[in-house]
């Protein structure tokens, strides 16, 4: 039998999806599963997008230019500028989701064996994308006790080596929901300039900030134009995960030319997705206000509900729609699996993502889980009741 590649064998499996077989069995047994494991929002995609698709005069679903449709790139750049982010049309390369932007960004800026520093816990697929590019992920650990603030610059500096080529951050953060303070980002920018590193910022949750300000963009940092790479996506912004449209944005001309070689090799980003995404840009600001209000209400409900359970710690996230929660348990992996296999409360159970998969330091986040508050309050209420009861029954409880 032909062999499987070593790269393929070592490819990490997604901590968000790896419990799926247990969920499928639980469902077959008749359990109702409350999915708090994945960031698939329940919010309707904008009506204007469906209208644009229905009314599109095209008779061929053609390839688009490799960098994306010009009109979409223009309108997207204008959208960024309206939000105070300094971007021109030529800075934008449209990609197949933020995922492809991350892969292209890593592969264009680093060579196999190079190191990328990422504050952990981080979006687990960064591990997979780095693995695909042959890169080593070097974590700098953020701690739950201070709500996952950006670690100190000394912590970053301590792990910089001659192989370090980039720092990757996610702001607002998945899985932490942390919105970084502008001063922290400024300090990171200075560090990147000092060591001549790229600063790649995954800003796919930019609109989901629940304080007074939106998260500052890496594109606005002084003197950082050649180092800054912004990763973006319509998946969360417009609740259009299936459109598969994202963007890599940079003012670095040489880097853009390199990314374009990858973009040309895969021919084009999705044509229909771009039509829907361009139309979505007409969405009135009231849409975001409404969406934000819904998420704030859900966040407040979930965080309070969890913190009311004895020995549970859930810092309040300032953005995105995730919360990391510390539970009095031996292992998040075991607990999440147990909840699917062994537990139900009147037929309901909850699927969560064990947080260990969001860390790259072995053993870190062992007693933490990530919850996505992408469902409505009555469902969250059931979920909290399930978690409370499950913690009373779980054999691996620690306190």
Ligand X SMILES: Cc1ncc(COP(=O)(O)O)c(C=O)c1O
Residues in contact with ligand X by CB under 6 A are: 39, 97-99, 123, 170, 174, 202, 204, 233, 235, 241, 246
Q: How far is the CB of 245 from ligand X (least distance, A)?
A: 7
Cβ distance to ligand X smaller for residue 96 or 345 = 96
Q: How far is the CB of 202 from ligand X (least distance, A)?
A: 5
Q: Coil, strand or helix: which one is 51? A: helix
Cβ distance to ligand X smaller for residue 163 or 292 = 292
Residue 138 to residue 393: CA distance in whole angstroms = 37
Q: What are phi and psi of 224, to 5 degrees?
A: -105, 10
Residue whose C-beta lies closest to ligand X: 97
Instruction: Mark residue 89 as left, alpha or beta (left: phi above 0; alpha: psi -120 to 50; beta: remaining).
Output: alpha
Cβ distance to ligand X smaller for residue 83 or 396 = 83
Q: How far is the CB of 247 from ligand X (least distance, A)?
A: 9
Cβ distance to ligand X smaller for residue 128 or 220 = 128
Residue 151 to residue 176: CA distance in whole angstroms = 13
Residue 347 to residue 367: CA distance in whole angstroms = 25
Compute how many other C-beta atoms are within 10 angstroms of the C-beta atom of residue 282. Answer: 13
Q: How far is the CB of 128 from ligand X (least distance, A)?
A: 11
Residue 285 to residue 46: CA distance in whole angstroms = 12
Q: How far is the CB of 176 from ligand X (least distance, A)?
A: 10
| Range list of β-strands (E), 240-354 | 246-249, 322-326, 348-351, 353-354
Cβ distance to ligand X smaller for residue 174 or 252 = 174
Q: How far is the CB of 338 from ligand X (least distance, A)?
A: 25
Q: How far is the CB of 205 from ligand X (least distance, A)?
A: 7
Cβ distance to ligand X smaller for residue 31 or 236 = 236
Q: 166 and 198 in contact (C-beta within 8 Å)?
A: yes
Instruction: Mark residue 362 as left, alpha or beta (left: phi above 0; alpha: psi -120 to 50; beta: remaining).
Output: beta
Cβ distance to ligand X smaller for residue 151 or 246 = 246
Q: What are phi and psi of 342, to 5 degrees?
A: -115, -15
Residue 331 to residue 39: CA distance in whole angstroms = 22
């Amino acid at each position: 039998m032909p062999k499987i590649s070593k790269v393929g064998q070592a490819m990490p499996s997604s901590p968000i999806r790896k419990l799926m077989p247990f969920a499928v069995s639980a469902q077959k047994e008749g359990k109702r599963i409350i999915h708090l494991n994945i960031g698939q929002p329940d919010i309707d995609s904008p009506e204007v997008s469906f209208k644009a698709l229905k009314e599109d005069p095209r008779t061929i679903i053609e390839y688009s230019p490799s960098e994306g449709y010009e009109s979409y790139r223009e309108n997207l750049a204008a959208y960024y500028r309206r939000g105070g982010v300094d971007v021109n049309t030529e800075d934008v390369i449209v990609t197949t989701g933020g995922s492809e932007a991350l892969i292209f960004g890593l592969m264009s800026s680093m060579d196999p064996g190079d190191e990328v520093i990422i504050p952990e816990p981080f979006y687990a697929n960064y591990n997979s994308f780095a693995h695909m590019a042959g890169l080593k992920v070097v974590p700098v650990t953020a701690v739950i006790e201070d709500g996952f603030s950006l670690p100190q610059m000394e912590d970053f500096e301590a792990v910089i080596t001659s192989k370090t080529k980039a720092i990757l951050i996610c702001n607002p953060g998945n899985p932490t929901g942390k919105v970084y303070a502008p001063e922290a980002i400024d300090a990171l920018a200075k560090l990147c300039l000092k060591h001549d590193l790229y600063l790649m910022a995954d800003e796919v949750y930019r609109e989901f900030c629940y304080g007074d300000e939106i998260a500052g963009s890496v594109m606005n940092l002084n003197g950082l134009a050649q180092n800054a790479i912004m990763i973006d996506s319509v998946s969360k912004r417009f609740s259009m995960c299936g459109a598969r449209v994202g963007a890599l944005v940079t003012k670095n001309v040489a880097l853009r030319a390199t990314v374009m070689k990858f973009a040309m090799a895969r021919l084009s980003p999705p044509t229909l997705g771009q039509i829907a995404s361009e139309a979505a840009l007409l969405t009135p600001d009231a849409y975001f206000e409404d969406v934000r209000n819904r998420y704030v209400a859900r966040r407040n409900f979930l965080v309070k509900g969890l913190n009311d359970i004895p020995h549970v710690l859930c810092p309040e996230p300032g953005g995105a729609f995730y919360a990391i929660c510390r539970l009095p348990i031996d292992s998040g992996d075991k607990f999440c699996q147990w909840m699917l296999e062994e537990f139900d409360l009147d037929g309901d159970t909850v699927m969560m993502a064990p947080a260990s998969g969001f860390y790259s330091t072995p053993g870190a986040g062992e007693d933490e889980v990530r919850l996505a508050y992408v469902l409505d309050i009555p469902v969250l209420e059931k979920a909290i009741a399930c978690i409370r009861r499950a913690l009373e029954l779980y054999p691996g409880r620690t306190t």
